[in-house]
Amino acid sequence: MLILGIDPGTATTGFGLIEVIEDLKGEKYKLVDFGWIKTDKEELKEKRLSLIYQEITAVLKKYKPDVMVIERLFFATNVKTAMAVSEASGVMRLAAAQQNTAIFDYVPMQVKMVITGNGRADKSLMKKEVRKLLSFRSPNHKKTYFDDVCDALAVAICFARKNMLNYGKAGKGGEEK
């Protein structure tokens, strides 16, 4: 099963694609691809959302994942930021719907609990666990936006751990509670 994880944002959106491989020893995860979509804050909001839509659509068309899993905004102290992230999430959902890709989402606390066993885990522990689960190192570039990519990969792994057995029974699409 191919799972596309998304950490939505308007400035930077992280994405990570994993493949779930089941063998006699259990479930394993293979890193297929990861990256980020960066938009120019000087551009009009409409242009930024259009770029996000186009880039997510390109990833969906290239890999044809079985599901797309989005990190859901849990709360926000800045309403303007929350609205912008919600709009970005909306265009990503539209792209997935147009490609007939099932959509699920989780709040960060759920993801942290599934990945580390602690719903309040910090970024460094999350990155360490994601690296360990996928057996890879983060890029050595000066600014890679790896936090966004790590969040995207974590949400994909979260879906895999919570839903692999139930996915076929529940049908495609829906929101995980």
What CATH number should be reported for the domain holding residue 78?
Answer: 3.30.420.10
Residue at 55 is within a domain: yes
> Do the Cβ atoms of 148 and 14 come closer than 8 Å?
yes
Digit-coded pLDDT (tens) for 98-128: 999 999 999 999 999 999 999 999 988 999 9
Catalytic residue among 55, 105, 148, 151: 148
Tokens of 127: 């990155």
Burial group, residue 10, by CB count within 10 angstroms (0-12, 13-18, 19+): buried
Residue at 103 is within a domain: yes
Q: pLDDT at residue 172 above 70?
A: no
Distance CA 132, CA 46 (A): 38
Catalytic residue among 71, 105, 129, 151: 71
Name the domain count of the chain: 1
- Annotated catalytic residue 23: no
- Annotated catalytic residue 148: yes
Within 8 A by CB and 6+ apart from 177, the residues are none
Residue at 177 is within a domain: no
Residue at 176 is within a domain: no
71-80, 135-144, 146-155: least confidently modelled range: 135-144
Residue type, 152: A
Residue at 52 is within a domain: yes
Q: pLDDT at residue 140 above 70?
A: no
Domain that holds residue 46: 2-170
